[in-house]
Chain A
């Protein structure tokens, strides 16, 4: 038989400090921000009157995707002012997710709780702030905690549920969804990589060809992670848009 030693969780998630307080996760997060900023700076440098090419094409495609796929679907025409915020959120999360499958990085920066938690707290502040700005402090809490059209006696039940779901669970689930998806993907890739390595190096020669099976599974999961990285960034952005839209216009 083969002895498969699964490493402790810290070994596959915690990276050595290159400089104190600065490890691979920080490099990925900084690169994600720099690449996104660089792409859009390069795009705006181009002549606005000629046909777009290169970086400008890519940037326009991303902006159009956020406008048509996220803002128009959830907030409608009034929400278009939120495009820059949602765009930077989407790009940053996507570029943090995608290193999970890039060789030599092999680690999604969002698989550590710090980045998803910070982003979720940011979104929490933004949507509550929007609600307070549009409806006033008491108006916002009245429309959130006491939804209209509910019989008076039911408010005893509805108000605590609404408070927990709108104020506490939303940022928690937003952060945990992104974090757990990326962590699960990372652990799956580690598992199948270890399994195929152990089988390819097995002492029993019969087991060596069997290693093809987890290896194909590894290839399949790697391409699946490409999809997950995009989908999680998209879901995070679209949920942010829904929360902001709901806080700005409670009647929808």
Chain B
């Protein structure tokens, strides 16, 4: 709320500066929000993978490969958030 109030105050004074302020604020939100889901997802995924490796050590190789695949797919979402952050902040 405070950020929005600050943006509104800045918009009245200087539109170009207001755009920068809004971009900086929303860049922070973009990355923070994009990290929540993948964070939970990777934690859950690796936890389950460790559990199954502990139960069946002979399947560890296969589980590890599948785990890396899963991490790659989950992590992509967070990374897209990071790219959005870069685009908002610097582009």
Q: Interface residues, chain A, CB within 8 Å of chain B?
A: 8-9, 69, 73-74, 173, 176-177, 179-181, 183-184, 231, 234-235, 238-239, 242
Out of B68, B80, B89, which one reaches A176, CB within 8 Å?
B80
Whose C-beta in chain A lies nearest to the C-beta of B76? A173
List CB contacts (< 8 Å) of B39-76 with chain A.
61-62, 65, 68-69, 71-73, 75-76
Q: Are A177 and B79 in contact, CB atoms less than 8 angstroms apart?
A: yes
Given A180-B83, A235-B69, A235-B72, 11 more A-B residue pairs with CB atoms under 8 Å apart are A8-B90, A9-B90, A73-B61, A73-B65, A180-B82, A184-B82, A234-B68, A235-B71, A238-B68, A238-B72, A239-B69
Question: How many angstroms between the C-alpha atoms of A239 and B61 in the bound complex?
Answer: 16
B62 contact set on A, CB distance < 8 A = 73
Interface size class of chain B, counting residues whose CB lies under 8 Å from the partner chain: 10 to 19
Whose C-beta in chain B lies nearest to the C-beta of A69? B65
Out of A177, A181, A183, A231, which one reaches B86, CB within 8 Å?
A183
- Would you list 12 pairs from A and B whose C-beta atoms are within 8 A, ordered by A residue? A8-B90, A9-B89, A9-B90, A73-B62, A73-B65, A74-B65, A176-B80, A176-B83, A177-B75, A177-B79, A235-B69, A238-B68
Query: Separation in Å of the A4 CB from the closest CB of chain B?
Result: 15
Out of B61, B69, B80, which one reaches A238, CB within 8 Å?
B69
Question: How many angstroms between the C-alpha atoms of A177 and B69 in the bound complex?
Answer: 12
Question: How many angstroms between the C-alpha atoms of A231 and B75 in the bound complex?
Answer: 13
Known: A9-B90, A235-B72, A238-B68. A181 touches B79 (CB 8 A): yes
A180 contact set on B, CB distance < 8 A = 79-80, 82-83
Query: Separation in Å of the B65 CB from the closest CB of chain A?
Result: 4
